[in-house]
Amino acid sequence: MRYADWLLEAGERGNTATRLDERRPDRAAWSEGNDARPLVHGAAYFAELLAGIRAMRAGDLLLFTDWRGDPDERLAGPGTEIGTVLAQAAERGVVIKGLLWRSHLDRFQFSEEENRHLGEEIEEAGGECLLDMRVRPGGSHHQKMVVLRHPGRPELDVAYIGGIDLCHNRNDDAAHHGDRQSLRMADAYGPHPPWHDVQLALRGPVVGDVEAVFRERWEDPSPLSRSPLTRLRELLHREDVRADRLPPQTPDPAPRGTHTVQVLRTYPNRLLRGYPFAPDGERSIARAYLKALRRARTLIYLEDQYLWSPRVVASFARALATQPQLRLIGVIPAVPEQDGRLTLPMNLIGRITALDTLRRVGGDRVAVYGLENHAGTPVYVHAKVCVIDDTWASIGSDNVNLRSWTHDSELSCAVLDRLTDPRPPQDPAGLGDGARVFARELRLELMQEHLDLADTTPGTAGQPAKGALCDPVAAFRAFEECAAALDAWHAGGRRGPRPPGRLRGYTPPDLPWTRRVLATPLHHALVDPDGRPLRLRHRGAF
C-alpha cells in the first residue's frame, strides 16, 4: 500500500503556512510508527485521562483545547472533578496551558460561564487557561485535544483527540444509561441523555504533531477577541488575555507501533486578518475525505452527529454513483439535540436534503440508523468516525457538514495500519491495499456494540459471529436485519422478548413546505454556514 494513495501529501493540505508538514527531517506529511487506540465512550476516556494526569509530576506539560469544559464534571466519581484534577496537577508543578472557546452568551444555550469558571480554577492553581474567540462570526473552536508530555520520560507521552469534551453528558459507557451530570436536550432523550462517543489515544511521534497544533494556536499574537463588548467583559472579570511563553517543545517520542497517522484540521477563512498559521484557512479534513472516498469500493461506515449538507455529502454520493458495489452505513442521532419550534426544522432540513441526495444515488445501498438503549431511550450519537473499506479510518472532532469542513476549528486524525488483517475478505476493495487491522477492528468494535454481540459470540440464529462481519455485504445485511427486527417489535406493541441490538431504521420526518421555506435559509446562515473563501465557494471546491 502506498500511503500517498490515501493520505494527503504536503502540497495537498492547501496550507503552506503551517509547520505540520515541515517539522520532520524527511518533510513527510504524516508520521509513522505510532500506536493509535480508539477509546469508545466517555467513561473509558475519562478513566484513562484521570490516571494519566494523576501520574504527572513537576515539570511535566499538559496542553488542552476544548469546546466546552464543566469544572465539576467528574472523570470517575466524587473527587475527580476535572477542575479539581487539573488544579491539583498545577499545584504539583505540572505546567498546564489551556485554550477554551469563549463561547457565545449563555442565554443562547452555549457555554460562556462554564468555560470561564474552568479557566478560573486552573489559573488560581497556577496554570493558565485562555478564553479564545478568534473565530469566524458565528463560529466556534470545536477542537478537543489533551496532550501530556513528560520531559525525561517520553515513553509516557500521549495525546488524545476526538469528539469528547471535558463536560457534562459525556461520561457514559456501553450500557448507555447516560451521564448523571447532564445537560438538557430534546425531551426524547430524558433527564440523562444516553451518549455515544469516541476518542483516540495516540502514542509515538504523532504526539509531537498534535502538540504543534496547540502551539500554533497558543502562539497566535492576535487578540483573543475583536469584540469591544468581550474586551469589556475581559476587564470586568480580570481575565488573563496574554499567553505566556511555552517551554520549548521536546523531541517527538520514539516510534512504538504500526500506525501511520496524519493530523488534519479545519480553520475558516477569517475576514480581515486570518490566522498566521492558516491565513487562508485550512480544509485538510475535507480534502482528506475527498481523497479517501475516491478509493472507496465496498463499504463506507460512518458514525456522525449530523450528516448534513448536500454540498458535503455530494462527495459520498459521487463515490456511490461511480462504484455500483459500494454501500454506505450511517449511524446518527435519531432525534436532533434541540426540539424547539424553530430549532427543530433548522436541524432537520439539512439532514433531509442530505439523505435525499444519498438515497437518490445509492438507493438501497444507503442505510441510515439511529440507536437506542435497552430501555428504548434514543442514544445521542456524538461520535465522528469514518472507516472506508477496512483500510482508512478517521476519528476526530469534525462532523459531516459544511460547518465542520469549512467554518469552525476542528481536529482529526486519519489512521493507516501497517498490519494487514488475515480474515477474509483480505482485500475488500480489490485495489491491493488489503484490510488493515486498525480500521477493521474499529468498525467491528462499534458494530458489535450496536448489534449486542459480545467479542466471543459464536453466532446464533439471526446473529452473525464477529468474523462474519468482516464481509462488508454480511455486515450491511446484519445491520439491516437487526434494525428490522427491533422496529417490528416496537410496531407490534413491544410484546415478547426484546430482540437483540440497539439499531433503529432512520427515516427523516416530513416537513411541511412552509416550514422548509423558513428553515432552509436559517439552516444555511446559522446552523451550517460556509467558511470558505469566495473563490472556492464559486468552484464548489475545498
Q: Among 353, 375, 331, which residue's Cα sits nearest to residue 188?
A: 375
Task: Give 420's pLDDT tier (boundaries 50, 70, 90).
Answer: very high
Mean pLDDT score, 238-258:
93
On the question of a cis peptide bond just before residue 425, with omega within 30 degrees of 0, the verdict is yes
Separation between Cα atoms, residue 290 and residue 542, nearest integer Å: 9
Q: Which residues contact 461 (CB under 8 A, 6 or more apart)?
A: none
Task: Give 456's pLDDT tier (boundaries 50, 70, 90).
Answer: low
Q: Provide the CB-side half-sphere exposure for 131 (13 A, CA).
A: 27
Inter-residue contact 125 to 92 (CB < 8 Å): no
Which DSSP category does 235 fall into? Answer: H
The CATH architecture to which 35-237+248-258 belongs is 2-Layer Sandwich (3.30)
Task: Give 377's pLDDT tier (boundaries 50, 70, 90).
Answer: very high
From the centroid of its chain, how far is CA 527?
A: 17
Separation between Cα atoms, residue 115 and residue 129, nearest integer Å: 10
Mean pLDDT score, 253-264:
98
Q: Where are the alpha helices (DSSP H) in 371-494?
A: 402, 437-451, 472-491
Hey, which bits of 122-252 come out as E strands? 128-132, 145-149, 158-162, 195-196, 198-203
Three-class DSSP category at 261: strand
Separation between Cα atoms, residue 24 and residue 31, nearest integer Å: 8
How are beta strands 198-203 and 259-267 bridged, if at all?
unpaired
pTM of the model: 0.96
Inter-residue contact 85 to 120 (CB < 8 Å): no
Note the pLDDT of residue 240: 80
Q: What is the pLDDT of residues 93-122, one digit of tens each?
A: 999 999 999 875 544 444 567 667 898 899
Helical axes 284-293 vs 310-322, angle rounded to 10°: 20
- Give the chain's mean pLDDT: 93
